[in-house]
Structure 1
Amino acid sequence: MAQAAPDQQAEDPAKKLKDAQCARKWIAELTLSEKAQQKWLTRARKIVQRYKQDNRADTDQRRFAMLWSNTQTIQPAVYARPPQPVVSRRFGDADPVARAASEILERAIAYSIDCQDLDGRLRQCSLDYVLVARGQTWERYVPTHGPMVTPEIELQVVTSGDGDEDEGESTDDDQPERLYTDENGTTYDPEQVKFREDGSAYAEGEPYEPVVYEESVTDYVNWEDFGHSVARTWDEVDYVWRRVYLNRSQLIERFGEDLGKRIPLDWGVRNAKGDAKTVDDAELSKKAAVYEIWCKSEEKVYWISKSFSEAPLDVRDDPLELDGFFPCPRPLLGTTGNDSTIPVPDFALYQDQAQEIDKLTARIAHLQDALKVRGFYAGDQKNNLNNLLNSDSNMLIPVPDWVSLKEDGGIRGKIDWFPIDLVVSALQALINQRAQLINDVYQITGIADILRGMNDPRATATAEALKGQWGTLRIRDRQLEMMRFARDILRIKGQVIAEKFDPDTLKQMTGVQLPTNADKQQAQLTIQQGAMQYQQAVMQAQATGQPPPPQPEIPDALQQVLRSPSWEDVTALLRNNALRQFRIDIETDSTVEPNEQQEKAQFVEFIGALGQMVQQWGPAVEAQPALAPVAAAVVKAGVRKFRAGRELEDVIDTAIDQIAQSAAQPKPQGPQQPPVDQTKIAVAQIEASTAQMQDQGETQRAQMQAQLKQQELGLKAQETQAKLYALPYDPQPQVAV
């Protein structure tokens, strides 16, 4: 290790003391935070063990898997598919820059979701949410650097000393001094200057590793490895932390060789009680528990090891500069009060009923074992009765003293059977009692029978659909909480992408084609040159007495370049946090299973609304061209209200603009042949497109009606089959075990 300078050595004691105080402070804060949630952690570990049946031995009594069944029923209802980003203009007005920025950001987030397997992370979080009432993720910005690059700084040569000669004789050594400066006016020492083969001068800048790829990574955080400051509500939380486990090589790579070798490896495999222990003394089986702490009040990030109190492992200023500072959203929380953010697992609210169900299940199992043919018989008929009871087929047994057997009442007089009917009655009573307890659990948890895949064969399809809607009211809050959690993740990811990603990365990632400012300037220059050439041609024609040439039309490609926002405009909007929030909104669609019929109905509604607007405003624009701008504004505003209209907005805007321009042009006077009315053509094109879309909508509607009819027939067939199946059996309701 290199020796420090004298000034640094003088500061070392004070700095070491300050670092040690900082480390001990955060170790105390972590201990306090872990103590606050220790009761919940202990309960959660027991619940997870029960869910996985880890704490059950082969000799244990039978149990009813109520926790596993409820978890497997609720989790798919809470989360069923990965979220899809919906980035749009906040107010839906005509804002080309915000529209392009929304499209770029939406594509970038969608790509990040696909390549980072956000679906797997959210499934893990949803399981934690349903099982232990808390789930969390963590966002990281991960740049990938390329090989080291040394930039070349272009230099300009200037001379000094001209006109500054002293009076008197001059010598041959008096030559002007040559200075080398860059574009900012910085002067470089001649020893730093290098020359190329063409004689140009340059200097080498500071070497750096260029960023060749960027990622916004979402990490799943286990429910045991997340915590925060003690607070009543999430708004009062001052710091959050997560715990990661690093081996020796990872410690050296992350914190340097000197510090990485000094950090104790204080974590090992946990036993069934949740206590940390090491399997053996092998170095590879041990890791260090490193806490990553984000403190909002200090706007700093600390890396702490509770076994290393000399100093924090690392301290950095706010690396992501997020709105809420924290790199994680508000966690998924189950039942909580306004006095604490520590949740209560759902199983804790019905564990008494679950334990009673387990006891009844064990008793039912014992009674089922007792359902055997047992009885007492006379000893003098032992051989005859054994032959009779042990026979596998029909047989006759000769009895020597038949007369005495008959006088004693026959077989009935020699055998007294165990009263098995009493066991059956007790068994039926236990089954009914357990069914009542199971129904109580469903009442507590709010799991309707329709969610469990059960239905009444006597109910109609409409009644079952209505019951399904009411049955999901209790679970609707959880679905909304899962949607909120996914939306917050996408917003954090979108902010990281908008503020950290290089424009070149966004171009390659999204594939959006936008011009640069240089492209727009070139297009404007081309149009100006064409206008000047046309003016010269008009002047020439007037000088020669010839009719003026027709004015050339501006190519569509140039018009598109001028209408489109530039990459610089879009990047400036994405980089400006305040403007981005004012003009762009990041949402997500539903994370539950989509309703295909509802999506089709929304698309059909959009087609009908568009066709109605065109049919109403088309004749009005044709009769009164002055109404064209009003019609264009109305149609554009109506299209922006529909999600399906976003993809067609550019095409519709172009068509509406053509209609407005055509209507605004003055009509020719005199006997000249009137030009083709572009307004009618544009209206006809839109009406044709609308008619085609309406035909598609009608086709989809017919398909939907056929599917609904087929489903109704299937439900009626199931109903009939269920009724026929129920005829030979006891009409009393049966409980599935």
Structure 2
Amino acid sequence: MAENAAKADDKEAATPQDAATWLSEIEAAQRDMQPYFQRCDRIRKLYRYENNRSTQKRRYQIFWANVETMKPTVYAKVPKAVVESRFRTGDPVARIASTLLERTIQFQLDLNDYDRTFKQMRDDYLLYARGVPRLRYEPEFDEAKVEEGLDDAAVTGREVDSEAPDTNQVLKFENVHCDYVQLEDLIHPKARTWEELPWLAFRAFLTKEEWNKRFPDYKGTVPFDTSGLDANDGKSKDSAIDKATVYEIWDKTNQRVLWVAKGCAEILEDSAPYLKFTGFFPSPRPAYGTLTNDSLEPIPDIAYYQDQVDEINELTARIGSLTDALKLVGFYPSGPQGEGSPEVEKAMRPGFENKMIAVKSWAAFAEGGKGGAPIIWLPVDHVAKIISECVQLRKQLIDDVFQVTGISDIMRGDTDPDETMGAQKLKSQYSSSRTKDRRNEISRVARDVVRMVGELVSEQFQISTMMEIASVPLPSKQDVMMAAQQAQLQYQQAMLQYRQVQAQAQQAGQ
């Protein structure tokens, strides 16, 4: 007993037990991930092309094109739930239970718009090499009047809150939501693998109304100093749009769930996990891009071809500048009116075509041009040659990017009509093999989400809710009793026949 107590003390000492320590741990984890978040912020601006209004420098949006090409490749549609017995023994109970669970899971996937969450996760995965979903159980209640003298369960047929004297909360329906987690709202300490994480925190922003409803015992104890768009936006306090920063911590070490808030000295809530999952956390392992085995900080794909993107943008800006210089410019001698000077200017004006111009001093005009118009044109063939070489160099850099990313001509819909069928098949196989790991990663997260939905449904849902969703009739108690009585009767008849056969055999032997 003493040894067990000592181990428990060591376990508690290894994990923060007060709000200040937890907030310090969270701040340290955020500092550790700050370089990654800064890199992601630059990627976000590049993808959104946010500097297009502040600069006139032209860019080639190859990064945006690559991401848009990969989106339908790695994720196409919501997964389908499949629940079946591991060993197909023909057990009718297992078959009915599997059908009931499968239909309930699929209903949740369709009803609660899991497709939108999966697409948001996919976008973060392609941009920042990390996409995070999480599961949330949400029951719906109705307020029902209970007549005096009647049993609550007899009136409603479902569980009610017995503490309310006149009005009871009646369970109306149950939902499992899959929420998208913003990039900086998932916080965890440094770790080599997902399985080694001691705790996980989810950041949320609550308005005053939401705070007072969720934590009524802590009114006026936290600063409302953020709008929720940026935790460090420096908004004025006590504004109608300001929110409080709250952290939901899943402590895997001690198997606890805690709530702490920025600026509050107390732990708001500390309880056992309100949802039970095999991996403890309410989120599956995120969809990770490039990782090494010693860190959970992912490396976005663009980091591997950022140099080529910069060179392509530089060449695009240079081509744009040269294109601006590629214009028709001519020089002619200025002379008195009637010798061609105003007439040449008139002929070069925009929109002047299919007209004739009279020149009064034709002899002087023709002599000045040696039989032609007295104009010397600015040579632009050198500029055109430089532009052509820049375009060829940029094309080579673009091909290098496609080699790095694995995006082939087949995926981009850009094929050479002179190519053979074998060459196109080879490119198709190449692109499929290069993107296979990305598709498998998204599929793995979707599979884990479906499994966790099945766990929540099995643990939290009422049988009546599942029957309502799945339209699978289950036998009543009376049906079960009748089936048991029938089975007992069949057993007794079989034993009677067996005894009669045994008696006949004994008589024949005598």
What is the distance in 2 between the residues matched to 1:269 and 1:499? 33
Question: Given the alignment of the two structures, is residue 38 of structure 1 paired with residue 34 of structure 2, yes or no?
Answer: yes
1:259 is matched with 218
Question: Given the alignment of the two structures, is residue 441 of structure 1 paired with residue 441 of structure 2, yes or no?
Answer: no
Question: Given the alignment of the two structures, is residue 95 of structure 1 paired with residue 91 of structure 2, yes or no?
Answer: yes
Question: Given the alignment of the two structures, is residue 245 of structure 1 paired with residue 205 of structure 2, yes or no?
Answer: yes
Structure 2: gaps (5+ residues): 1-15, 151-160, 494-510
Change (3 A) 1:528 1:472: closer
In the TM superposition, residue 21 of structure 1 has moved relative to its aligned partner by 5.8
Written as runs of structure 1 = structure 2, the 5 A alignment for 1:416-495 is 416-459=376-419, 463-495=423-455
What is the SS of the residue equivalent to 2:411? Answer: coil
TM-score (norm 1): 0.59
1:47 is matched with 43
Written as runs of structure 1 = structure 2, the 5 A alignment for 1:157-236 is 209-236=169-196
User: Which structure has the greater CA radius of gyration?
Assistant: 1
Which of 42, 55, 59 is the matching residue for 1:63?
59
Change (3 A) 1:146 1:378: closer
Q: How many residues align?
A: 463
Contact kept in structure 2, 1:252 and 1:260, CA below 8 Å: yes
2:500 is matched with none
Question: Given the alignment of the two structures, is residue 111 of structure 1 paired with residue 107 of structure 2, yes or no?
Answer: yes
Question: Given the alignment of the two structures, is residue 277 of structure 1 paired with residue 237 of structure 2, yes or no?
Answer: no
Residue 97 of structure 1 aligns to which amino acid in structure 2?
V
1:510 is matched with 470
Residue 96 of structure 2 aligns to which amino acid in structure 1?
A
What is the SS of the residue equivalent to 1:241? Answer: strand
1:604 is matched with none
Residue 341 of structure 1 aligns to which amino acid in structure 2?
L
1:296 is matched with 252
Question: Given the alignment of the two structures, is residue 392 of structure 1 paired with residue 347 of structure 2, yes or no?
Answer: no
In the TM superposition, residue 520 of structure 1 has moved relative to its aligned partner by 2.6
Change (3 A) 1:152 1:492: farther
What is the distance in 2 between the residues matched to 1:286 and 1:336? 37
Contact kept in structure 2, 1:150 and 1:206, CA below 8 Å: no
What is the SS of the residue equivalent to 2:224? Answer: coil
Contact kept in structure 1, 2:133 and 2:178, CA below 8 Å: yes
In the TM superposition, residue 100 of structure 1 has moved relative to its aligned partner by 2.1
Change (3 A) 1:92 1:525: closer
2:505 is matched with none
Identity of aligned residues (%): 36
Question: Given the alignment of the two structures, is residue 348 of structure 1 paired with residue 307 of structure 2, yes or no?
Answer: no
Contact kept in structure 1, 2:36 and 2:297, CA below 8 Å: yes
Question: Given the alignment of the two structures, is residue 125 of structure 1 paired with residue 80 of structure 2, yes or no?
Answer: no
1:694 is matched with none
Structure 1: gaps (5+ residues): 1-19, 155-203, 534-737
In the TM superposition, residue 527 of structure 1 has moved relative to its aligned partner by 7.1
1:499 is matched with 459
Change (3 A) 1:95 1:269: closer
In the TM superposition, residue 375 of structure 1 has moved relative to its aligned partner by 2.5
1:318 is matched with 273
In the TM superposition, residue 387 of structure 1 has moved relative to its aligned partner by 4.3
Residue 22 of structure 1 aligns to which amino acid in structure 2?
D
Change (3 A) 1:367 1:295: same
Change (3 A) 1:249 1:361: same
Question: Deviation digits for residues 679-733 of structure 1, max 9, x if unmatched?
Answer: xxxxxxxxxxxxxxxxxxxxxxxxxxxxxxxxxxxxxxxxxxxxxxxxxxxxxxx
What is the SS of the residue equivalent to 1:422? Answer: helix
Contact kept in structure 1, 2:225 and 2:234, CA below 8 Å: no
In the TM superposition, residue 136 of structure 1 has moved relative to its aligned partner by 0.6
In the TM superposition, residue 366 of structure 1 has moved relative to its aligned partner by 1.3
Question: Deviation digits for residues 635-680 of structure 1, max 9, x if unmatched?
Answer: xxxxxxxxxxxxxxxxxxxxxxxxxxxxxxxxxxxxxxxxxxxxxx
Contact kept in structure 1, 2:206 and 2:245, CA below 8 Å: yes
What is the distance in 2 between the residues matched to 1:522 and 1:314? 49
Written as runs of structure 1 = structure 2, the 5 A alignment for 1:325-724 is 325-380=280-335, 381-390=340-349, 391-395=352-356, 397-398=358-359, 400=361, 402=363, 405-406=366-367, 409-411=370-372, 414-459=374-419, 463-525=423-485
Change (3 A) 1:393 1:318: same
What is the distance in 1 between the residues matched to 2:51 and 2:357? 54
What is the distance in 2 between the residues matched to 1:48 and 1:455? 30
Residue 51 of structure 2 aligns to which amino acid in structure 1?
N
Change (3 A) 1:53 1:269: farther
2:503 is matched with none
What is the SS of the residue equivalent to 2:76? Answer: coil
1:142 is matched with 138
